[in-house]
Amino acid sequence: MNIVTTYSPQLERPGHGLTVADAMEPCEYQIADDSTVDQADDILHGADIEYLLVRDHDGRCEGLVTRIGLHPFLDRARSTERTAISATTHQRGPFAWPTMGLALAAIAMRIKHLAVWPVVDEDGYILGVITADRATGLLTTGLLATTPAP
């Protein structure tokens, strides 16, 4: 007697095959790691955004800086004119990549307490960001769409 088993990767993988690329959003605002805290603060307030992606001198993703992360440096008003973003404590790698499973990325973000996570290519260049809200929303929608009605 021969038993035939069919393999379905969609049933085996949480998130039903969704990847970070499915949830990735562009990030229009970036800053060089040698820019100052004052420059970053000006961009954050001028553009009314919560975070900036940080690039190194080669243009690769170095991390992500937030308004909240800059507060300790802004309290020392005199030093912000000379303090480079690279000298601040901010979110650094590893980063997400587009082919990473969305469910795995959501778990990693939850464990690391990340609201936003940079997405990079295999060479470390910025492709965009993934947000915890978007990842959760897509995973929830995907699960609801595939759950049979009672």
| DSSP string for 50-92 | SEEEEE-TTSBEEEEEEHHHHHHHHTSHHHHTT-BGGGS--B-
Q: What is the pLDDT of residue 150?
A: 53
For residue 132, give the 3-state DSSP assignment: helix
Residue 80's pLDDT is 53
Segment 12-34 shows an average pLDDT of: 83
* Structural domains of the chain ordered from first start: 9-146 (3.10.580.10)
Task: With a cut of 70, say whether residue 144 has pLDDT above it.
Answer: no
For 85-107, the pLDDT digits (tens) are 888 877 888 999 999 999 999 99
